[in-house]
């Protein structure tokens, strides 16, 4: 395929007039588009993909044109440069891969229905209309849509509707924006509406398959988040409305179309009668993320996809800033340390990982940029680090200046650094470039040599890695006074350690306070012993950080796994949810060393049973009126581990609760339902039970419940059930393409079902690409294999499978990183398995 040619360099669009006539029955649409803009050359090309273009005219005169499906363009010549009007007539098919214009399928009372929507990010607007489909090519849009409308149906878009004549719905002219942000949705929808304090109308839309009350929580969150952002950014939300629309079929979590945000239903709707605090927090964070994009990404847009982090890293940070502001009792930053930090630390430690800012040299590389662990999680950690370094006042002031200077325009990273530098008086570019432009992250080694404190840095790897002598500007964020603010060189030696210690009250020396920066700290044995000796006095985030660091240092060969086991044992009476969750994450990482049905498994189960016994007894199974958010969120974790450990009381209770709700398993409390469903399969699987789970999956619109059923049935120890599950992968009436990767992951992660799941993928790879090939989630199938395989034989099988596409731009990096991951796990098992098992045996 050809490398990029930026069409914006030849034609700068100013306005699009778009008319679309969509027919759901034939799955086709026709279009007429008129584009006004500035031609800089006489040989023009517009983006198009799979459009049957019948005519092209320039200033009213028909011209010859050429379609190129490789470069995805329509090319033609014009008589003169300057201001021109180009018109296209064409037709095309609705897609079935959740890009462009596509139908979502659902049922209400047994009646099959469609909700038609759009997904134009990253470069799929060209599947709907000829365009300069690049972020820098901002223009205004006048949209009119006709569709096979039925009674009670409606249509929404970025702007308010101004007319409906003869079935043609016409919307007001948009503000100047990128093509990937245009959106519309039509079908039979219900809605809830409200207003912000400044008058912006806010609405939540869904199909009628859901309770209308499920729209209340997201509406309240959306209103309050918009109000917070207007106050924080000091820049008003610029559109008349903010629509939030749940689509039954949606590949990503959500999409920030300006004024018409689209979501997976599970990321928007919240059952008021039976939802978990965790699921409501997830909905709130996604809404806050997408609303942050209305400023970061929509109002001010990256010039090209290599600066995607300007959109995603900031939005990922701001979602936590916003939710912490409007729901402080949730302590949402604890969730940041539990979710974003380990995701970033894990993937960014693999040699070959991309940097946050990365060049795009080929069209197929665009979707690979959307690496949740790097552009989102790592990028967000870097923005949190920068915010702490600058202080919130200067950070907020810099953002205000950035928005005011560049609104309705495009930027690169240096534009943001300049605004923040002006506001703070600090050289932000010098501080941040090493973090954004370099892959990986450092480990800060802290030792004492005589009376000198020695701080040094080097890149941290799990598995083999090539040390290229990279250096970072590391904010030390220490609890001691009298130390440098930043370490920029390889090493610094600070004299007078004994005096410094005395001046700081002999308290244990710690770095990276609040876990606010993206690096690990490796203390010498003596210093680490002092840190750990005071662990019970630390706040929850610090405890989480120490657990995560101990795990990563062990994985990187810089610490002993026995030390990790000893550390975990100290939390057997811990009451804080985030700390218990971090312990749980570490235990799951240890499972790789445990053989099923062996003495090591017995030791491991005894160990985890000891760890969670106190909280299991303290919290019990039932919610308590007036209990804290912490206890509400924690309860399921000790129950889950005690059931796994074989705690007789826990297993008996789980079985009894299932029996009580056997006729309506959805009615089990959402807080513990996953545990109950899984235990029933593990302990009492029958063919009838498996059928019950599949039937429940098919008949519910609750996507959280569907995922629980997926995980539960995939916990089977029956090869016939594994085969039955795999047989459903291509049954798109049951397993929607948007959910396929979750089903696949549930089986590939288990040794018992791994071979069967992998064999299915090898056989059906072309089918998977047909359904998801244009989508940014396609590479997740390769990533989860890299996270799961751990033997030489499976590495060989993986290399054989990926050989035919390993050099394709969309997969090259993902495949290489997966090979590195598998190799590192093979080495880790060879060197550490016996040591871990011995440590567990000693601990019990």
Give me the mean pLDDT over the 91-100 stretch: 96
Domain regions of the chain by residue span: 1-187, 192-270, 307-437, 442-528, 647-713
SS3 for 486-499 is: EECCCEEEEECHHH
Structure tokens at 750: 């288990």
Strand order in the sheet with 491-495: 491-495, 452-459, 442-449, 520-523
- Give the span between the Cα atoms of 408 and 301, in whole angstroms: 8
Residue 169: count of CB within 10 angstroms of its CB: 22
Q: In this structure, what DSSP letter does residue 353 have? A: P
Instruction: Give the residue numbers of the binding site for Zn(2+).
Output: 289, 293, 312
Mean pLDDT of the chain: 97
Give me the mean pLDDT over the 568-580 stretch: 98
Q: In this structure, what DSSP letter does residue 238 have? A: -
pLDDT tens for each residue of 423-434: 999 999 999 999
Element (H, E) at 588: helix 577-590
pLDDT at residue 1 greater than cutoff 70:
no
Q: What is the DSSP string of 320-334?
A: HHHHHHH-GGG-HHH
366 band by pLDDT with thresholds 50, 70 and 90 = confident
Q: How far, CA to CA in Å, does 358 sit from each of 301, 316, 482, 518, 758?
A: 17, 18, 37, 18, 31
More confident residue, 360 or 476: 476
- Give the span between the Cα atoms of 813 and 28, in whole angstroms: 36
pLDDT at residue 683 greater than cutoff 80:
yes
Nearest partner of 554 among 580, 590, 529, 528, judged by Cα: 590
Q: How far, CA to CA in Å, does 687 sit from each of 100, 684, 720, 724?
A: 41, 10, 9, 10
Q: How far, CA to CA in Å, does 374 sit from each of 344, 356, 735?
A: 6, 6, 29
Instruction: Give the residue numbers of the binding site.
Output: 289, 293, 312
Task: Pick 307-437's CATH classification: 1.10.390.10, 3.40.605.10, 3.40.640.10, 3.90.550.10.
Answer: 1.10.390.10
Burial class (CB in 10 A: 0-12, 13-18, 19+), 455: buried
Q: Evaluate whether 1-187 and 442-528 have a shared fold.
A: yes
- Give the span between the Cα atoms of 191 and 85, in whole angstroms: 39
pLDDT at residue 574 greater than cutoff 70:
yes
Residue positions annotated with a catalytic role: 290
Give me the mean pLDDT over the 830-834 stretch: 95
- Give the span between the Cα atoms of 181 and 297, in whole angstroms: 9
CA 377 to chain centre: 8
pLDDT tens for each residue of 246-275: 999 999 999 999 999 999 999 999 999 999
Give me the mean pLDDT over the 388-414 stretch: 97
Q: In this structure, what DSSP letter does residue 567 have? A: H
Give me the mean pLDDT over the 454-476 stretch: 97
pLDDT at residue 776 greater than cutoff 70:
no
pLDDT at residue 767 greater than cutoff 70:
yes
- Give the span between the Cα atoms of 375 and 369, in whole angstroms: 7
DSSP helix/strand/coil, 47? strand
364 band by pLDDT with thresholds 50, 70 and 90 = confident
pLDDT at residue 19 greater than cutoff 50:
yes
CATH number of 1-187: 2.60.40.1730
Strands 184-187 and 154-157: antiparallel
- Give the span between the Cα atoms of 742 and 676, in whole angstroms: 20
pLDDT at 84: 98
Residue 425: count of CB within 10 angstroms of its CB: 9
Nearest partner of 231 among 317, 159, 325, 319, judged by Cα: 325
- Give the span between the Cα atoms of 347 and 533, in whole angstroms: 30
As assigned by CATH, the class of the 192-270 domain is: alpha beta
H helices of 348-442, in order, are 379-390, 392-406, 413-424, 428-437
Give me the mean pLDDT over the 819-834 stretch: 96
Q: How far, CA to CA in Å, does 68 sit from each of 49, 53, 73, 361, 814?
A: 9, 12, 5, 19, 29
Task: Pick 442-528's CATH classification: 3.20.20.450, 3.90.190.20, 3.60.15.10, 2.60.40.1910.
Answer: 2.60.40.1910
773 band by pLDDT with thresholds 50, 70 and 90 = low
Give ∠ CA 40-44-46 in degrees, rounded to 5: 115
402 band by pLDDT with thresholds 50, 70 and 90 = very high
Structure tokens at 482: 């009298």
What's the half-sphere exposure (Cβ side, CA atoms, 13 Å) at 536? 8
Structure tokens at 388: 């702490």
pLDDT at 368: 81
pLDDT at 365: 82
Structure tokens at 35: 């584009």
Asked if 240 and 160 count as a contact pair (C-beta separation under 8 A), the reply is yes
pLDDT at residue 543 greater than cutoff 70:
yes
pLDDT at residue 352 greater than cutoff 80:
yes
pLDDT tens for each residue of 609-664: 999 999 999 999 999 999 999 999 999 999 999 999 999 999 999 999 999 999 99
- Give the span between the Cα atoms of 420 and 302, in whole angstroms: 17
Asked if 39 and 82 count as a contact pair (C-beta separation under 8 A), the reply is yes
pLDDT at residue 474 greater than cutoff 50:
yes
pLDDT at 2: 52
Give ∠ CA 315-316-320 in degrees, rounded to 5: 100
771 band by pLDDT with thresholds 50, 70 and 90 = confident
pLDDT at residue 484 greater than cutoff 80:
yes
Asked if 220 and 87 count as a contact pair (C-beta separation under 8 A), the reply is no
């Amino acid at each position: 395929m050809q490398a990029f040619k930026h069409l914006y360099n030849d034609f700068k669009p100013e306005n699009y007039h778009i008319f679309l006539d969509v027919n759901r029955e034939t799955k086709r649409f026709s279009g007429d588009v008129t584009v006004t803009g500035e031609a800089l050359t006489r040989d023009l090309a517009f983006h198009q993909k799979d459009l049957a273009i019948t005519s092209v005219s320039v200033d009213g005169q028909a011209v010859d044109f050429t379609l190129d499906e490789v470069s995805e363009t329509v090319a033609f010549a014009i008589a003169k440069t300057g201001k021109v009007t180009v018109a296209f007539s064409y037709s095309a098919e609705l897609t079935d891969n959740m890009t462009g214009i596509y139908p979502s399928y659902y049922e209400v009372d047994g009646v099959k229905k469609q909700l038609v929507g759009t997904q134009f990010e990253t470069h799929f607007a060209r599947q709907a209309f000829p365009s300069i489909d690049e972020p820098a090519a901002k223009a205004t849009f006048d949209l009119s849509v006709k569709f096979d409308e039925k009674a009670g149906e409606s249509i929404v878009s970025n702007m308010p509707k101004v007319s409906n004549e003869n079935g043609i719905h016409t919307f007001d002219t948009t503000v100047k924006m990128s093509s990937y942000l245009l959106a519309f949705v039509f079908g039979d929808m219900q809605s809830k509406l409200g207003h912000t304090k400044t008058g912006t109308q806010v609405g939540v839309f869904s199909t009628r398959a859901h309770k209308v009350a499920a729209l209340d929580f997201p509406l309240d969150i959306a209103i309050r988040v918009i109000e917070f952002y207007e106050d924080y950014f000091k820049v008003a939300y610029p559109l008349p409305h903010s629509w939030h629309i749940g689509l039954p079929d949606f590949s990503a979590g959500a999409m920030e179309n300006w004024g018409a945000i689209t979501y997976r239903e599970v990321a928007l709707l919240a059952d008021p009668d039976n939802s978990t605090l965790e699921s409501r927090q997830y909905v709130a964070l996604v809404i806050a993320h997408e609303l942050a994009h209305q400023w970061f990404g929509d109002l001010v847009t990256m010039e090209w996809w290599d600066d995607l982090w300007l959109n995603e890293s900031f939005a990922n940070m701001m979602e936590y800033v916003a939710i912490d502001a409007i729901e402080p009792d949730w302590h949402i930053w604890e969730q940041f340390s539990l979710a974003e930090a380990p995701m970033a630390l894990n993937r960014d430690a693999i040699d070959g990982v991309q940097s946050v800012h990365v060049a795009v040299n080929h069209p197929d590389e665009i979707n690979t940029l959307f690496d949740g662990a790097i552009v989102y999680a790592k990028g967000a950690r870097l923005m949190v680090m920068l915010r702490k370094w600058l202080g919130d006042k200067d950070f907020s002031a810099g953002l205000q200046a950035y928005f005011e200077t560049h609104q309705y325009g495009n930027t690169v990273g240096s534009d943001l650094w300049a605004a923040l530098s002006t506001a703070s008086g600090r050289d932000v570019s010098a501080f941040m470039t090493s973090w954004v432009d370099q892959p990986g992250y450092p480990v800060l080694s802290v030792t004492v040599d005589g009376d000198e404190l020695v701080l040094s840095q080097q890149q941290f790897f799990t598995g083999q890695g090539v040390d290229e002598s990279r250096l970072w500007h590391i904010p030390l964020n220490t609890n001691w006074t009298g130390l440098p603010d930043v370490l920029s060189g390889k090493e610094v030696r600070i004299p007078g350690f004994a005096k410094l210690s005395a001046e700081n009250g002999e308290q244990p020396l710690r770095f990276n306070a609040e876990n606010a920066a993206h690096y690990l700290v490796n203390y010498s044995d003596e210093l680490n012993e002092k840190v750990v000796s005071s662990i019970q006095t630390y706040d929850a985030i610090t405890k989480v950080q120490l657990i995560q660091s101990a795990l990563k240092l062990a994985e990187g060969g810089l610490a002993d796994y026995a030390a990790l086991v000893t550390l975990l044992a100290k939390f057997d009476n811990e009451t804080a949810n985030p700390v218990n969750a971090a312990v749980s994450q570490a235990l799951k990482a240890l499972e790789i060393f445990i053989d099923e049905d062996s003495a090591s498994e017995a030791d491991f189960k005894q160990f985890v049973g000891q760890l969670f016994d106190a909280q299991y007894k303290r919290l019990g199974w039932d919610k308590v009126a007036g209990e804290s958010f912490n206890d509400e969120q924690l309860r399921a974790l000790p129950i889950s581990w005690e059931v796994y450990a074989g705690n007789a009381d826990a297993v008996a209770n789980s079985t009894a609760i299932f029996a009580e709700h056997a006729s309506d398993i959805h009615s089990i409390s959402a807080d513990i339902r996953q545990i109950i469903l899984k235990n029933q399969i593990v302990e009492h699987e029958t063919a009838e039970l498996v059928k019950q789970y599949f039937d429940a999956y098919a008949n519910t619109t609750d996507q959280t419940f569907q995922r629980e059923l997926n995980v539960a049935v995939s916990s089977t120890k029956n090869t016939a059930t594994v085969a039955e599950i795999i047989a459903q992968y291509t049954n798109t009436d049951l397993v929607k393409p948007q959910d396929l990767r979750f089903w696949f992951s549930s089986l590939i992660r288990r040794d018992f079902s791994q071979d069967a799941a992998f064999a299915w993928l090898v056989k059906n790879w072309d089918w998977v690409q047909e359904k998801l090939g244009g989508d940014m989630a396609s590479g997740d199938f390769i990533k989860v294999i890299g996270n799961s395989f751990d033997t030489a034989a499976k590495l060989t099988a993986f290399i054989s499978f990926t050989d035919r596409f390993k050099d394709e731009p969309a997969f090259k990096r993902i495949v290489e990183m997966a090979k590195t991951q598998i190799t590192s796990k093979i080495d880790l098992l060879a060197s550490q398995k016996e040591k871990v098992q011995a440590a567990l045996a000693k601990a019990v």
